[in-house]
């Protein structure tokens, strides 16, 4: 189940035009202690890498709620990277293990939803690995570039006339709806 | 209504070279909610900082974004600056334009675009920041030291010296630890007892130190500054207040067993004092072998005791103590001598610690070197180093560290006792790093003529009176066969059995070999991941006496530093539970590595229980956010990194250029139509369902 | 009935015929079905790996193909065969490139699913001890056995799969199971010098002297072995050793399978005891009250 909705249905010319201009937009969630510091080190070492990445700092990769990742896609990202401390090196002892488990599940969910798995990435980058960070970024950008622009989950039209379906109803209707139900849950669950 | 100020730094040319700082500032000024946006050559300089302070006061800012270097570099600087004028420091955020942008992206246009994005994300985040206030925690100014070896003794004395109370818990009947068992110490060959016993007496006499011997820590609760520790005082069967330590009971006791203090080389009675200089010098009854307890007869000790101190009915006693800091100094053990079956299990094969007791003047042979099998003085001894250490197949790839030095010492002690005796040492490498250490080993080789053979021993077997050692000399590439009277194995140093239980109680992580883990191997070597718990001595890794003492001093100074503060002030980046929505599933409790989630009962006015909810102990919480990411009902927030802050950053990822726009232009109108205050989270989410098919970066 | 593929190797069809006989007899009694690999070829032993690495893998592997197709594990009683087969299998499992090369040589597709066992490992599998114990009919408690493992049964440690390569115990456990006592001696894994018997006979002789002497001094009545070369080397030099040491050495060197066979009362003829050079008959007659007339043939 790959790429259910990943090809834009537009005229070929426009498509070519977009292909030429298109650059992927990638969000990276970096833990404060290792990966963010690793990215800092890449900076202080002046190691160049692809500029298509936007870093959001979190205290620990364990802080990354899978909803952040789904939300990022909904809000226009083409790819997401989560990076934490190496196993065993977590500043908070076990946070990166939680992140790893959550991520493994999310990856399956994302495949289930028909998304290209090249869009989401997970890496361990320590504070000493500036060059690794740049490598990771370039690899991720490349992978997402291959996957092409993300064009969204298959959402139902959301107008005042349509009755709001409950997440449970949506879940029954198949993978695309299921993804949407996740989205809906993220909205309704908000404080 | 948010009033945000954006301050873009040039960092000389560091940022300005590849980022069009002016353009970024201009762009930021147009973002909704931003009331002032200025750039400066050096924002962190004095005039730069004044710029921020002036703007806060003049524009009545509610939030500040400094677009400069990494927050890991200067966040503290800026937050401290704004705090001076009463502005909440946690309303300031930094956009990382230097390390994450200008230094890594050579293309000026791309870098400028990215810089704009980074600033926009931070503006959105800071709009949702809440003022936070440092967490103040009261500190109980009393320390607990677990383990009464040299490390524990040193730590306790140092803390007491600093003017605070200390509780010292030791599981055996006397303090002193392994050091009390040693004969002489390297590299000076001064008598171990002579330097240790005065310190033990000091502990006993110090009024600030409360000593619990023959006691163990049963439970630890609480957090830094506020631990509650339950200590089990094992039943000594001797009333320590009545006992005068006369020792008549010991003389009369008929039951004997191997003495732990003499490492099995000597014997002790069922009622015993481990060694003559013990502190406290009061006996204890070993209930496992005492006839009174095993067969209900004898009772000789009670009959002879002049003060009636023997009490067979005594029970284990539990005491609870409040302490503010804990030092763990639980030390090490040696593995048993028969780790390698090919070495056999001969009585004349002993461990280094047993050898110490055999040569010690206070040992079972009163310092006369006699081998265990027949009591003759050994004419040749083979010392084997690295028995069980540096052996991945035996599960211990690490170096036991102290063996090279004590083996060299043993050869000297042996040669001083048996002048024409032959001392052979099989070694892998000699690791004698330390002040005067290598000189010491050279002395053993050159002056005391110890014969060092580089290689391993494959087999030991008895041939009549002698033990035959088969080994390899890897320098000569030859097989070696040595006839010896006695073999001394430098067995591996390991963590004490069952120590992981204590580590779990303390919330300290431990490695594969059950040695406790420091918070950082280089920069925080005495702290642990559990705030307020410190390590001293060989519980962390094999250590010799000077190192243990040094670490104990370091741990004590950490404790004194903690106690020196009036109250403990901690960063407010902690989790917070919305107790009205908390369903009480306590999944958060499962994922918390710091045991910071507590269960709280919610009751109505009449006192009926409504529900259980989670509550964060701010003293324990370290702010990792694992709970917030796990909560199923979104009832936990991590202050400073709340869901709404992060979602707002995500939501504004792509407010950039659309394909219809000419490249490079900023879509001002689109931005301006969105008011900040009106734009609640929910509305925005619903109005923008169509996602980012249209966003295309030029 | 448990089935295993059986790889006798050259020795068991020639000098070590008695090992072959007793092995098969004991397995039959224990309900283990040994099926000799059809058209087996030389394992390569020591000559192959000193000439070509690939040859030293291809030879053993071509013997494993049949077993893999049948889905059987292989029993290799000769210590050297066992070692070669095991090493080849491990290397092939570890390195896909080598497997491809070897497969190209043998022109078959070998996956490496076969496990190689020596008889010691076979008889130490889970329930075997109990089964052997149930079958024991003869009281062997009178004899003291020096279990001799030699070099290749337990080493290299990570390849042979022995729990403790410097101090193996499996043979001792079996001998204890059949009721005999074993002695704790220092030469159980020392080299017997077999591979030097022709090129450096003096060295080999010294090593044999040491092993035999040590067994004598530790009060052994006989030496139990599980390797054809150890057996012949220790067995046939005893008169020379006696002359050299100046004391009478008469230590039957028997295969441990022969001891099991005797203990569980297998037809003595089927154990091939008469093929041993140092006659064991008087030992068993004296210490176990066995009549050895049939065995003498």
pLDDT of residue B688: 40
CATH topology of domain A23-188: Rossmann fold (3.40.50)
pLDDT digits (tens, 9 = 90+) for A76-103: 899 999 999 988 778 887 899 999 999 9
Q: Out of B341, B458, B468, name the one closest to residue C164 (CB).
A: B341
Instruction: Give strand pairing partners of B535.
Output: B328
Is B673 within 8 Å of B635 (Cβ atoms)? Answer: no
Alpha-carbon gap: B508 to the closest alpha carbon of chain A (Å):
10
pLDDT digits (tens, 9 = 90+) for B430-470: 999 999 999 999 999 999 999 999 999 999 999 889 999 99
Q: If we measure between CA atoms, which residue out of C85, C80, C84, C94 comes closest to residue C115?
A: C85
Residue B693's contacts (CB-CB under 8 Å, 6 or more residues apart) are A8, A149, A151, A152
Residue C199, pLDDT above cutoff 60:
yes
Pair of tokens at residue B190: 């001064």
3-class DSSP state for residue B351? strand
Residues of chain B with Cβ-Cβ distance to A94 below 8 Å are: 591, 593, 626
Return the C-alpha torsion angle B355, B358, B361, B364, nearest 10.
140
Helix H or strand E encompassing C255:
strand C253-255
Based on the domain organization, do C112 and C148 belong to the same domain?
no
To the nearest 10 degrees (0 to 180), the angle between helices C53-70 and C96-106 is 80
Alpha-carbon gap: C227 to the closest alpha carbon of chain B (Å):
21
pLDDT of residue A19: 59
For B614-669, the DSSP string reads EEE-TTT-----HHHHH-TTS-EEETTS-HHHHHHHHHTTT-S-BTTSPTT---HH
DSSP code at position B362 = T
Q: Which chains sit next to A, with 3 or more Cβ pairs under 8 A?
A: B
Residues of chain B with Cβ-Cβ distance to C216 below 8 Å are: none
pLDDT of residue A154: 52
Q: Out of B99, B629, B644, name the one closest to residue A65 (CB).
A: B629
Asked whether residue C131 is domain-assigned, the answer is no
Pair of tokens at residue B85: 């004028």
Residue A114 pLDDT level (bands cut at 50, 70, 90)? confident
Residue A119: Cβ within 10 Å count: 25
pLDDT of residue B672: 41
Alpha-carbon gap: C211 to the closest alpha carbon of chain B (Å):
14
Whether the model clears a pTM of 0.80, i.e. scores above it, the answer is no
Residue A166 pLDDT level (bands cut at 50, 70, 90)? low
* Domain boundaries, given as residue ranges, for chain A: 23-188
Pair of tokens at residue B371: 């081998």
The residue from C90, C117, C144 where one domain ends is C117
Based on the domain organization, do C103 and C170 belong to the same domain?
no
Alpha-carbon gap: A24 to the closest alpha carbon of chain B (Å):
8
Interfacial C residues in 206-225 facing B (CB < 8 Å): 217
Residue B697 pLDDT level (bands cut at 50, 70, 90)? very low
Helix H or strand E encompassing B610:
strand B609-616
Q: Out of B342, B468, B470, name the one closest to residue C167 (CB).
A: B342
Q: Which chains sit next to C, with 3 or more Cβ pairs under 8 A?
A: B
Strand pairing report for B422-427 and B533-535:
unpaired
* C166/B342 Cβ within 8 A: yes
Instruction: Give strand pairing partners of B384.
Output: B426, B489
DSSP code at position B99 = I
Least confident among B16-25, B113-122, B666-675, C224-233: B666-675
Q: CA dist B570 to A127, B132, B577, Å?
A: 24, 11, 18
pLDDT of residue B523: 85
Residue B490, pLDDT above cutoff 80:
yes
DSSP code at position A101 = H
Q: Is C130 on the interface with B (CB under 8 A)?
A: no
Least confident among B485-494, B656-665, C169-178, C206-215: B656-665
Based on the domain organization, do C150 and C282 belong to the same domain?
yes
Is residue C243 classed exposed, middle or buried when 0-12, 13-18 and 19+ CB atoms within 10 A define those classes?
Answer: exposed
Residue C205, pLDDT above cutoff 90:
yes
Asked whether residue C122 is domain-assigned, the answer is no
Q: Out of B99, B630, B652, name the one closest to residue A39 (CB).
A: B99
Mean pLDDT along residues B588-606:
91
Instruction: List the CATH number of the domain containing C70.
Output: 1.20.1050.140
DSSP code at position B525 = S
pLDDT of residue C195: 86
Instruction: List the CATH number of the domain containing C142.
Output: 3.40.50.11810
Residue B639 pLDDT level (bands cut at 50, 70, 90)? very high
pLDDT of residue B658: 34
Based on the domain organization, do C38 and C141 belong to the same domain?
no
Q: What domain range includes position C93?
A: 2-117
List strands edge to edge, sheet with B226-233: B215-223, B226-233, B317-323
Q: How far apart are CA C6 and CA C196, in angstroms?
A: 28
Residue B145, pLDDT above cutoff 60:
yes
Q: Is C167 on the interface with B (CB under 8 A)?
A: yes
Based on the domain organization, do C206 and C272 belong to the same domain?
yes
Pair of tokens at residue C189: 């894994």
pLDDT of residue A115: 83
Alpha-carbon gap: B498 to the closest alpha carbon of chain C (Å):
26
Chains B and A, touching by 3 or more CB pairs within 8 angstroms: yes
Mean pLDDT along residues C194-219:
92
pLDDT of residue B594: 85
pLDDT of residue A159: 45
pLDDT of residue B618: 87
Mean pLDDT along residues C152-181:
88
* A32/B103 Cβ within 8 A: no
Residue B394 pLDDT level (bands cut at 50, 70, 90)? confident
Q: Mutation test of the interface with chain A: which of B692, B693, B696, B698, choosing the one with the most A Cβ atoms within 10 A?
A: B692
Cα B273 vs. chain centroid, distance in angstroms?
33
Chains B and C, touching by 3 or more CB pairs within 8 angstroms: yes
Alpha-carbon gap: B137 to the closest alpha carbon of chain A (Å):
21
Asked whether residue C130 is domain-assigned, the answer is no
What's the mean pLDDT when you consider all of chain A? 78
pLDDT of residue A186: 56
Give the number of beta-carbon pairs within 8 Å between B and C: 18
Least confident among A54-63, C187-196, C241-250, C285-294: C285-294
The beta strands (E) that lie in B371-465 are given as 380-387, 422-427, 451-454, 457-463
Strand pairing report for B190-191 and B184-185:
antiparallel
Q: CA dist C26 to A128, B331, C22, C260, Å?
A: 63, 55, 6, 7
What's the mean pLDDT when you consider all of chain C? 91
Alpha-carbon gap: A125 to the closest alpha carbon of chain B (Å):
15
Residues of chain A with Cβ-Cβ distance to B649 below 8 Å are: 56
Q: If we measure between CA atoms, which residue out of B460, A44, B589, B613 comes closest to residue C185?
A: B460
Interfacial B residues in 399-458 facing C (CB < 8 Å): 458
For C182-250, the DSSP string reads E---TTTTS---GGGTTT-HHHHHHHHHHHHHHHHHTT-SEEEES-HHHHHHHHTTHHHHHHHHTS---
* A98/B630 Cβ within 8 A: yes
Helix H or strand E encompassing B52:
helix B46-59
Asked whether residue C240 is domain-assigned, the answer is yes
Percent of chain A topping pLDDT 90: 44
Residues of chain A with Cβ-Cβ distance to B507 below 8 Å are: none
Instruction: Give strand pairing partners of B569.
Output: B136
Helix H or strand E encompassing C153:
none
Q: If we measure between CA atoms, which residue out of B632, B619, B644, B643 comes closest to residue B591?
A: B632
Q: Out of A23, A44, A102, name the one closest to residue B697 (CB).
A: A23
Q: Is the bond leading into A102 cis (omega within 30 degrees of zero)?
A: no
* C167/B341 Cβ within 8 A: yes
The number of domains in chain C is 2
The domains of chain B, with CATH numbers, are: 4-135 (3.40.50), 137-234+316-331+499-570 (3.50.50.60), 235-315 (no CATH), 333-494 (3.50.50.60), 575-638 (3.30.70.20)
**Torsion sign over Cα B475, B479, B485, B491:** positive
Is B22 within 8 Å of B41 (Cβ atoms)? Answer: no
* B470/C167 Cβ within 8 A: no
For chain B, the C-alpha Rg in angstroms (whole number) is: 34
Mean pLDDT along residues B239-263:
94
Asked whether residue C99 is domain-assigned, the answer is yes
Residue A155, pLDDT above cutoff 50:
no
Residues of chain C with Cβ-Cβ distance to B468 below 8 Å are: 186
Based on the domain organization, do C113 and C156 belong to the same domain?
no
* A77/B682 Cβ within 8 A: no
Residues of chain C with Cβ-Cβ distance to B339 below 8 Å are: none
Residue C16 pLDDT level (bands cut at 50, 70, 90)? very high
Alpha-carbon gap: C166 to the closest alpha carbon of chain B (Å):
6
- Max mean pLDDT among A146-160, B232-246, B499-513, B677-691 falls in B232-246
* B470/C186 Cβ within 8 A: yes
Asked whether residue C225 is domain-assigned, the answer is yes
Strand pairing report for B380-387 and B422-427:
parallel
DSSP code at position B369 = -
Query: For residue A44, what is the nearest residue in chain B, using CA coordinates?
Result: B99
pLDDT of residue A190: 40
Q: ipTM for the complex?
A: 0.80
List strands edge to edge, sheet with B92-96: B34-40, B4-9, B63-68, B92-96
Asked whether residue C184 is domain-assigned, the answer is yes
Residues of chain B with Cβ-Cβ distance to C184 below 8 Å are: 344
Residue B487 pLDDT level (bands cut at 50, 70, 90)? very high
Alpha-carbon gap: B345 to the closest alpha carbon of chain C (Å):
11
Q: Out of B105, B628, B633, name the one closest to residue A48 (CB).
A: B105
Query: For residue C214, what is the nearest residue in chain B, using CA coordinates?
Result: B463
Q: If we measure between CA atoms, which residue out of B578, B562, B571, B588 comes closest to residue B623?
A: B571
* B96/A55 Cβ within 8 A: yes
* C166/B461 Cβ within 8 A: no
Helix H or strand E encompassing B253:
none
pLDDT of residue A175: 53
pLDDT of residue A168: 55
* A62/B625 Cβ within 8 A: yes
Residues of chain A with Cβ-Cβ distance to B650 below 8 Å are: 27, 56, 68, 71-72, 75, 77
Based on the domain organization, do C112 and C142 belong to the same domain?
no
Q: Is B464 on the interface with C (CB under 8 A)?
A: no
Length of chain C: 297
Length of chain B: 698
Is C85 within 8 Å of C5 (Cβ atoms)? Answer: no
Residue C163, pLDDT above cutoff 80:
no
pLDDT digits (tens, 9 = 90+) for B80-90: 999 999 999 99
Asked whether residue C91 is domain-assigned, the answer is yes
What's the mean pLDDT when you consider all of chain B? 90
C-alpha triplet B203, B204, B207: angle, nearest 5°: 85
Residue A31's contacts (CB-CB under 8 Å, 6 or more residues apart) are A58, A59, A60, A61, A63, A83, A84, A85, A91, A95, A96
Alpha-carbon gap: A151 to the closest alpha carbon of chain B (Å):
5
Helices then strands, each counted (H, E), chain A: 7, 4
């Amino acid at each position: 189940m790959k790429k259910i909705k990943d090809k834009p249905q537009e005229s070929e010319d426009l498509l070519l035009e977009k292909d030429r201009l298109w650059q992927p937009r990638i969000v990276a969630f970096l833990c404060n202690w290792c990966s963010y510091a690793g990215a800092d080190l890449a900076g202080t070492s002046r190691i160049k890498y692809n500029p298509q990445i936007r870093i959001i700092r979190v205290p620990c990769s364990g802080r990354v709620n899978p909803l952040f990742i789904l939300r990022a896609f909904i809000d226009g990202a083409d790819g997401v990277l989560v990076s934490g401390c190496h196993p065993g090196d977590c500043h908070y002892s076990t946070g990166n293990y939680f992140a790893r488990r959550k991520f493994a599940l999310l990856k399956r969910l994302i495949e289930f939803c028909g998304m290209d798995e090249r869009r989401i990435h997970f890496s361990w980058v320590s504070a000493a690995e500036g060059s690794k960070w740049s490598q990771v970024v370039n690899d991720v950008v490349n992978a997402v570039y291959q996957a092409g622009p993300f064009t969204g989950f298959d959402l139902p039209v959301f107008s005042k006339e349509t009755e709001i379906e409950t997440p449970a109803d949506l879940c029954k209707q198949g993978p695309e709806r299921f993804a949407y139900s996740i989205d809906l849950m993220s909205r309704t669950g908000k404080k | 209504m948010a009033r945000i100020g954006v301050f873009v730094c040039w960092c000389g040319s560091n940022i300005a070279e590849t980022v069009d700082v002016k353009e970024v500032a201009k762009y930021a000024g147009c973002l909704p909610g931003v009331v002032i946006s200025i750039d400066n050559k050096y924002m962190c300089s004095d005039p730069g900082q004044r710029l921020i302070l002036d703007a806060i006061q003049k524009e009545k800012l509610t939030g500040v974004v400094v677009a400069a270097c990494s927050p890991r570099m200067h966040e503290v600087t800026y937050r401290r600056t704004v705090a001076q004028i009463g502005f909440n420091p946690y309303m300031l955020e930094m956009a990382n334009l230097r390390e994450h942008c200008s230094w890594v992206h050579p293309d000026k246009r791309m870098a400028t675009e990215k810089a704009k994005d980074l600033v926009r994300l931070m503006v959105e985040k800071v709009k949702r920041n809440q003022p936070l206030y440092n967490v103040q925690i009261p500190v109980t100014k009393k320390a607990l030291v677990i383990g009464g070896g040299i490390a524990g003794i040193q730590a306790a004395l140092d803390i007491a010296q600093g003017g605070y109370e200390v509780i010292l818990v030791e599981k055996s009947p006397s303090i002193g630890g392994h050091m009390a068992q040693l004969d002489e110490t390297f590299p000076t060959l001064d008598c171990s007892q002579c330097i240790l016993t005065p310190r033990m007496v000091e502990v006993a006499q110090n009024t600030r130190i409360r000593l619990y011997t023959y006691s163990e820590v049963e439970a630890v609760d609480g957090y830094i500054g506020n631990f509650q520790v339950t200590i089990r005082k094992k039943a000594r069967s001797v009333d320590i207040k009545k006992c005068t330590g006369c020792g008549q009971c010991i003389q009369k006791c008929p039951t004997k067993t191997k003495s732990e203090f003499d490492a099995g080389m000597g014997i002790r009675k069922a009622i015993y004092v481990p060694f003559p200089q013990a502190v406290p010098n009061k006996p204890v009854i070993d209930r496992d072998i005492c006839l009174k307890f095993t067969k209900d007869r004898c009772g000789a000790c009670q009959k002879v005791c002049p003060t009636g101190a023997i009490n067979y009915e005594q029970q284990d006693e539990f005491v609870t103590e409040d302490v503010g800091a804990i030092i763990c100094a639980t030390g090490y053990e040696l593995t048993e001598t028969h780790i390698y079956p090919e070495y056999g299990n001969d009585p004349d094969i002993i461990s280094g610690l047993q050898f110490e007791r055999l040569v010690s003047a206070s040992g079972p042979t009163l310092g006369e070197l006699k081998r265990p099998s027949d009591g003759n003085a050994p004419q040749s001894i083979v010392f084997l180093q690295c028995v069980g250490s540096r052996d991945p197949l035996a599960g211990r790839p690490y170096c036991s560290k102290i063996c090279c030095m004590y083996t060299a010492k043993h050869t000297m002690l042996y040669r001083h006792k048996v002048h024409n005796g032959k001392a052979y040492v099989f070694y892998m490498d000699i690791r004698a790093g330390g002040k005067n250490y290598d000189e010491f080993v050279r002395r053993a080789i050159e002056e005391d003529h110890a014969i060092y053979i580089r290689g391993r021993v494959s087999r030991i077997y008895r041939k009549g009176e002698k033990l035959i050692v088969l080994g390899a000399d890897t320098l000569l590439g030859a097989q070696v066969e040595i006839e010896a009277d006695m073999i001394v194995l430098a067995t591996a140093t390991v963590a004490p059995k069952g120590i992981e239980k204590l580590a779990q109680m303390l919330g300290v992580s431990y490695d594969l070999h059950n040695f406790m883990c420091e918070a950082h191997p280089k920069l925080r070597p005495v702290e642990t991941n559990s705030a307020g718990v410190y390590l001293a001595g060989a519980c962390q890794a094999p250590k010799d006496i000077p190192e243990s003492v040094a670490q104990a001093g370091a741990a004590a100074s950490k404790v004194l530093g903690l106690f020196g503060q009036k109250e403990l002030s901690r960063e407010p980046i902690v989790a917070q539970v919305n107790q009205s929505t908390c369903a009480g599933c306590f999944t958060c409790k499962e994922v918390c590595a710091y045991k910071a989630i507590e269960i709280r009962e919610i009751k109505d006015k009449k006192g009926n229980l409504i529900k259980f909810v989670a509550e964060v102990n701010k003293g324990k919480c370290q702010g990792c956010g694992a709970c917030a990411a796990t909560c199923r009902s979104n009832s936990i927030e991590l202050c400073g990194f709340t869901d709404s802050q992060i979602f707002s950053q995500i939501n504004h990822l792509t407010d950039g250029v659309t394909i219809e726009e000419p490249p490079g232009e900023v879509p001002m109108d689109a931005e301006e139509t969105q008011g900040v205050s009106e734009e609640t989270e929910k509305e925005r989410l619903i109005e923008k369902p169509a996602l980012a098919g249209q966003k295309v970066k030029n | 009935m448990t089935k295993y593929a059986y790889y006798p190797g050259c020795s068991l069809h020639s000098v070590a015929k008695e090992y072959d006989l007793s092995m098969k007899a004991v397995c039959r009694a224990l309900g283990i079905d040994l099926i000799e690999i059809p058209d087996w070829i030389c394992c390569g032993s020591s000559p192959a790996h000193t000439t070509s690495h690939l040859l030293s893998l291809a030879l053993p592997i071509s013997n494993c193909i049949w077993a893999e197709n049948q889905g059987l594990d292989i029993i290799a009683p000769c210590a050297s065969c066992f070692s070669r087969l095991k090493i080849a299998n491990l290397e092939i499992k570890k390195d896909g490139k080598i497997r491809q090369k070897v497969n190209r040589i043998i022109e078959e597709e070998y996956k490496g699913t076969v496990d190689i066992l020596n008889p010691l490992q076979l008889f130490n599998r889970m329930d075997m001890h109990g089964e052997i114990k149930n079958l024991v009919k003869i009281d062997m408690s009178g004899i003291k056995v020096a279990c001799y493992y030699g070099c290749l049964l337990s080493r290299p440690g990570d390849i042979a799969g022995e729990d403790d390569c410097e101090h193996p115990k499996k043979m001792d456990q079996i001998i204890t199971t059949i009721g005999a006592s074993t002695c704790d001696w220092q030469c159980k894994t020392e080299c017997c010098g077999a591979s030097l018997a022709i090129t450096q006979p003096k060295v080999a002789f010294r090593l044999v002297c040491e092993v035999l002497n040590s067994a004598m001094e530790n009060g052994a009545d006989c030496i139990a072995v599980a390797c054809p070369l150890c057996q012949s080397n220790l067995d046939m030099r005893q008169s020379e050793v006696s002359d050299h040491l100046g004391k009478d050495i008469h230590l039957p060197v028997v295969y441990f399978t022969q001891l099991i066979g005797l203990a569980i009362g297998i037809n003595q003829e089927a154990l091939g005891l008469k093929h041993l050079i140092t006659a064991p008959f008087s030992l068993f007659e004296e210490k176990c009250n066995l009549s050895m007339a049939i065995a003498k043939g």
